[in-house]
Structure 1
């Protein structure tokens, strides 16, 4: 019998990522909040019994992460046991002599679960809470230029947004696609003429000229099946997107 130590709650949504079965669903976990390094270190002391102060642990962790980033930028692979990380070059080279071109090629960092984290999976119980309310949801975004999924944004290039009930419709002037800077909370709206594809389960938009930073993606629409809502509702991607 497994030693269940953790519980994850999730709702089911229409699976628009596969076309072979129109009646299947995908589970989306419910995240109560996002934890930063400081909060995790505080928990390690208060819950986990760490034998150093939260401030000392936070300082050491930040030093580790900074050095890890430095080594990744020099092309080294990282294996912490809990996750692996590596540097990847995206894009096509048309000849053996072609050089790296930032306008055509891109660099991304890839992270994957390691053995120690994977060993915790049997200790997790999943509680499916049933179908989510009939609201819009963003399931996945793809930066078309780099091929990055739920990660990198390339300003001036296309972003493919897959979800449910995300078609931009209605007369509310706030409807549209927004990129929200996590540091300043400034909101940049995609121009209407830069919404290239506008379907219930798929949007393709041109990414605005965003400055470097981290962003959340929001879709505001009055669309629902068969009618329009009186007010807009918001769908947010639960992953942070980055402009380098």
Structure 2
């Protein structure tokens, strides 16, 4: 059996499906026939799947701008996947990089307010202009 499912946020009960904000998925339940047929399925490995982190957006909580401005001393909300900071090696952490000089400014561990796989909230450190 197949069960359709719509993912995404609807702003009100009368809103219609919008492919820009919603996705349609199907979930399947295996029947006896499908379970028997699994034995005859050929598997071809195409390569290693991309599993790195992704940043969906950054929101400066002071100015309420998205993917635009950074206000040092205030919160920055980062959403995406595989964002959680784990480990204590020197290269592990959150850094802001000044593009012209490639100088990195590290966010102090105590300034990481939320540390989840899909969301980070940090206090933006003092940064040189252009970072």
Bucket of the pairwise TM-score, normalised by the shorter protein: 0.5 to 0.7
Paired position in structure 2 for 1:160: 77
Map of 2:104 onto structure 1: 187
Q: CA RMSD in A?
A: 2.0
Provide Cα deviations, 1:117-169, integer angstroms capped at 9, x if missing partner.
xxxxxxxxxxxxxxx61221111000000011001000000000001001001
Q: Report what 2:117 is aligned to.
A: 200
Pairing of 1:43-54 with structure 2 (within 5 A): none
Question: Matched residues in 2 for 1:19 and 1:164: separation?
Answer: 18
Inter-partner Cα distance in structure 2 for 1:211 and 1:185: 12
Q: Judge conservation of contact 2:55–2:81 (CA < 8 Å) in 1.
A: yes
Q: Which has the higher strand share?
A: 1
Q: Give the Cα–Cα distance (whole angstroms) in 1 for the partners of residues 94 and 122 of structure 2.
A: 8
Distance 1:174 1:160, change over 3 A: same
Question: Gaps spanning 5+ residues in structure 2: where?
Answer: 1-7, 11-22, 25-48
Tell me how far apart the structure 2 counterparts of residues 145 and 208 of structure 1 sit (CA, whole Å): 14
Aligned counterpart in structure 1 of residue 55 of structure 2, from 138, 146, 166: 138
Question: Structure 1: which 5+ runs fail to align?
Answer: 1-17, 26-131, 216-244
After superposition, residues 116-131 of structure 1 pair within 5 angstroms as: none
SS at match of 1:193: helix
TM-score under structure 2 length normalisation:
0.62
Alpha-carbon deviation of 1:171? 3.3
Alignment coverage as a number of residue pairs = 88
Report whether the alignment pairs 1:177 with 2:94.
yes
1:150 partnered with 2:70: no
Structure 1 residues 173 and 19, CA gap change in structure 2 (3 angstroms)? farther
